[in-house]
Amino acid sequence: MVLGPAGAQPVPVAPGSAKVKGQIIAARVQGQVTAISKPSLDRRLLNEGDQVSEQTTIVTAPGASVVLVFSNGATVDIGSDSRLNINEFIQDPFSTDLKASDIKQEPGTSVTKLSLTRGELVGRVAHLNVDRGSEFTIQTPVGAAGIRGTVFRVILRPTKNHKAHFSIETSEGLIVFTGLSTGPLDIPAGHKYEATFDYNPNDEDDPFDWLPPDTLTLEGMFISPLEAAQIQSALQVILAAFENVIFHVQQSNNGGINGGTNGGANGGVNAAASGAGDPNGPPPPAPPLNAPTPGAGSGP
């Protein structure tokens, strides 16, 4: 990959290069956050600047949170009492250092597959090269959210009596949501869909064990001014967290480019990077409240 003048977007090393493991940095860690290796089940507490790999489960304790920055220009803020599986993250290799805050469009192409099995996350994804095969998917027990380059929030909270509440909200851009018991559904900026459904997984961390709920009605509506303000507040945290994150190139033993996470990134993050917006500040204006977007209907 080469860089042009300041502000120019990087380009891939060469068309058709084999994808490598992408880099992920824990840019902001608040409270107790645990990373669990899925292959070995080893556990470690995350600190700011730590590297995270695919095949890892991130668990936040009550009151804790973590901002993860991906080397394709995506960032997610995982909230309190949450559980996120990083199932896969691969991308085209790059040959120069990348500053996370400079990535407006992903370099090359990438495949990111996450599973939110509990809790809440707010994400900001740089423009993806979907037309060239890029994917950024967040799987939930209700369905999969395909992110196209947007700001969004996903909430999954198990409740009493084997129920769970689900919500997916788009603040900027577009999400294509495909439910386990519904067809594809576009969610444009300013809209959300939510549902309460039966939730009895044999293994809540295994998306292949998530059967379609017996009954499910996704209700469409506009996001409220409070919800918009909450997303914007989390977005300010994200922007502050990745400001000083730089992804470094790593040369493999055979001289090729390796974008893996072993020594391949530097999380030069200011621990006080809370430049977050004041959550008590005035919310942005709400979208015009015309007739709500119709729901996706009921599953079988």
pLDDT tens per residue across span 155-213: 999 888 888 999 999 999 999 999 877 789 999 999 999 999 888 777 777 766 676 67
Structural domain contains residue 280: no
Contact criterion met (CB below 8 Å) for 213 and 200: no
Structural domain contains residue 89: yes
Alpha helices of 126-245 — where are they, by DSSP H?
A: 225-241
Which residue is associated with the tokens 């950024």? 136
Residue 250: the pLDDT is: 58
Structural domain contains residue 6: no
Structural domain contains residue 131: yes
Structural domain contains residue 28: yes
Distance (Å, whole) CA 152 – CA 138:
11
Label each residue of the chain as H, E or C.
CCCCCCCCCCCCCCCCCCCEECCEEEEEEECCEEEEECCCCCEEECCCCCEECCCEEEEECCCCEEEEEECCCEEEEECCCCEEEEEEEEECCCCCCEEHHHCCECCCCEEEEEEEEEEEEEEEECECCHHHCCEEEEECCCEEEEECCCEEEEEEEECCCCEEEEEEEEEECEEEEEECCCCEEEEECCEEEEEEEECCCCCCCCHHHCCCCCCCEEEEEECCHHHHHHHHHHHHHHHHHCCCCEECCEECCCCCEECCCCCCEECCCCCCCCCCCCCCCCCCCCCCCCCCCCCCEECC
In angstroms, what is the C-alpha Rg of the chain?
19
Distance (Å, whole) CA 259 – CA 206:
27
Task: State which amino acid sits at residue 249.
Answer: V
pLDDT in tens, 218-246: 899 999 999 999 999 999 999 999 999 99
Region 35-57: mean pLDDT is: 95
CA atoms within 13 A on the CB side of 25: 28
CA 228 from chain centre, in angstroms, equals 18
> What does pLDDT average to over the chain?
80
Helix (H) or strand (E) holding 146: strand 143-147
Other CB atoms closer than 10 Å to residue 74's CB: what's the count? Answer: 26
Structural domain contains residue 9: no
* 221 vs 259 pLDDT, higher one: 221
Task: Supply the CATH number for residue 130's domain.
Answer: 2.60.120.1440
Q: Print burial letters for 29-53: b (CB count within 10 Å at least 16), e (below 16).
A: bbeebbbbeeeeeeeeebebbbbbb
Banded model confidence at residue 149, pLDDT cuts 50, 70, 90: confident
- Total number of domains in the chain: 1
Structural domain contains residue 254: yes
Range of the domain at 244: 20-268
Structural domain contains residue 81: yes
Q: What's the pTM?
A: 0.78
Distance (Å, whole) CA 111 – CA 99:
20
